[in-house]
Structure 1
Amino acid sequence: MHKVFNRPLLATAVTTALVTGTFVSSSAAAEVSANIGFTSNYLFRGVTQTDDQAAVQGGVDYAHEGGFYAGTWASNVDYGADSRGYEVDGYFGLAGGIGDSGVGFDVGYIYYAYPSLDDSDVGEVYGGLDFMGAHAMVNLVTNADDNSAEDSLSYELGYGLGLTGDMSLDGTVGYVDPDEGDGDYTWWSVGLTRATELGDFTLAYTQNDIDDGNADDPRVSVAFGMSF
């Protein structure tokens, strides 16, 4: 999933922050934060969720220094005629480090709700590891309004590289494997982010290998996100 604020990937970011001690201060047991973002195209696992149009997104997060976190996130969506509305995600999990190895872990559950769309809600459990800028994650659909989506799997590998100053480069490759049908596909994305005092600006290239119309066209998106 590639969002301005990506729920499963944010969980990975929480893992890293907990390991490095940057998410919560040593004098606080917990922290509540909020975020808001704008993107020219909401892309989730390499596929547009807004018919290649812009999206406004934001959420609220809670993180305890013991590793537990929870939050909610929302965005507008557009899947074509009579399928426009909004998405509201709720999630919780546990993130931390594995001893002194430098390896971070993250396990949790996320529920994607679409109040304005029929039979579209999906719930997933996920687990991930990160080490020295690299991360791996697996998501499994455990419940869905459309029963055919249950037991579907998504895999993801990524790496983030800090460049000079406030610039970073991130690359991700993912594979979506539905439990039913032959709709499996691979997607990939590369993004360049610049951090500023105001927020983060990202320029990203995303593509997939779905053989259906223009679904596999390369897409370039720009995004801005800030937290407070």
Structure 2
Amino acid sequence: MKKVLMGMAIASSLATMMFVPNQAQAAVEANIGATSNYLWRGVSQSADSASVSGGIDYSDDSGFYAGTWVGSLGDGNGAETDFYLGFGGESGDFGYDVGYILYHYADLDDGDFGEVYFNGSYADFSFGVAYTVNSQVDDGSLFDTGDIYYSVGYGFEVAKEYSVGLTYGYYDFDAGSDSDYGHLQVDISKGDFTFSVSRADEDSGDDDTKFVVSWGTTF
């Protein structure tokens, strides 16, 4: 049961998943990160414990990108590996990103699922939608085909080198409205560090306010 059980606060902004391709030339970029609690769409994927991650991405000047990301899960649940590809670009103040992502859980039987997604941005605002198109979970369970996740966000600078991001997301599960939930997150970032406050309104017992410190860098 992947996402209620599992799924980096960095990823909350990244969970809107806006990939910006290198517009000058093809590039390969690696990333590493660590967080006190791996949050995905407002819910802890690491059993409220620390998580480390790493990934590698390819992008070219056409806007195409592809990559993979691996993050540790807590409570003996192994690791999550994501594979994704897509196309992104921008025109004036408007940015867009459309693609597909597969979430793979090596230590979880029948837990993998995939989504197609669209993310857009205009000036300081962002919005996105992700639709589950394939899944190994049992029919009628959460994270089955037909689930939809919506998000909106706003980001701004408050002082030199400090930025604030606000995100609201809503998960609409095809299995039934009793499992649907919304979440709100505030991220304050400086350099490679992010402090997050997040709260989800859902029924799995993970609805307390969470305070998370994360670090991530690319090279």
TM value normalised by structure 1:
0.86
Which of 204, 207, 215 is the aligned partner of 2:199?
Answer: 207
Paired with 1:124 and 1:224, the residues of 2 have a C-alpha distance of 26
Counterpart in 2 of 1:111?
A: 102
Paired with 1:96 and 1:205, the residues of 2 have a C-alpha distance of 30
Paired with 2:66 and 2:169, the residues of 1 have a C-alpha distance of 24
Q: Percent identity?
A: 38
Which of 4, 27, 37 is the aligned partner of 2:10?
Answer: 4
Paired with 2:95 and 2:212, the residues of 1 have a C-alpha distance of 29
Paired with 1:219 and 1:7, the residues of 2 have a C-alpha distance of 16
Cα deviation for residue 205 of structure 1 reads 0.2
1:138 correspondence with 2:95: no
Letter in 2 for 1:170: G
Counterpart in 1 of 2:3?
A: none
Cα deviation for residue 89 of structure 1 reads 0.1
CA RMSD of aligned residues (A): 1.8
How many residue pairs were aligned?
Answer: 208
SS in 2 for 1:4: helix
Paired with 2:153 and 2:12, the residues of 1 have a C-alpha distance of 14
Cα deviation for residue 13 of structure 1 reads 4.2
1:65 correspondence with 2:71: no
SS in 2 for 1:151: coil
1:31 correspondence with 2:27: yes
Counterpart in 1 of 2:170?
A: 175
Counterpart in 2 of 1:126?
A: 117
Q: What are the ranges of 5 or more consecutive residues in structure 2 without an aligned counterpart?
A: 1-6
SS in 2 for 1:12: coil
Paired with 2:99 and 2:14, the residues of 1 have a C-alpha distance of 9
1:40 correspondence with 2:46: no
The answer (yes or no) to whether the contact 2:42–2:184 under 8 Å persists in 1 is yes
Letter in 2 for 1:112: Y
Paired with 2:44 and 2:14, the residues of 1 have a C-alpha distance of 17
**Deviation beyond 2 Å, 4+ runs, structure 1:** 1-11
Structure 1 residues 201 and 13, CA gap change in structure 2 (3 angstroms)? same
1:85 correspondence with 2:78: yes
Letter in 2 for 1:163: V
Paired with 2:208 and 2:13, the residues of 1 have a C-alpha distance of 25
Which of 183, 187, 197 is the aligned partner of 2:183?
Answer: 187
Paired with 1:118 and 1:86, the residues of 2 have a C-alpha distance of 13
The answer (yes or no) to whether the contact 1:35–1:59 under 8 Å persists in 2 is yes
Letter in 2 for 1:166: E
The answer (yes or no) to whether the contact 1:4–1:57 under 8 Å persists in 2 is no
Cα deviation for residue 212 of structure 1 reads 3.9
Cα deviation for residue 2 of structure 1 reads 5.1
The answer (yes or no) to whether the contact 1:5–1:57 under 8 Å persists in 2 is no
Q: What are the ranges of 5 or more consecutive residues in structure 1 without an aligned counterpart?
A: none
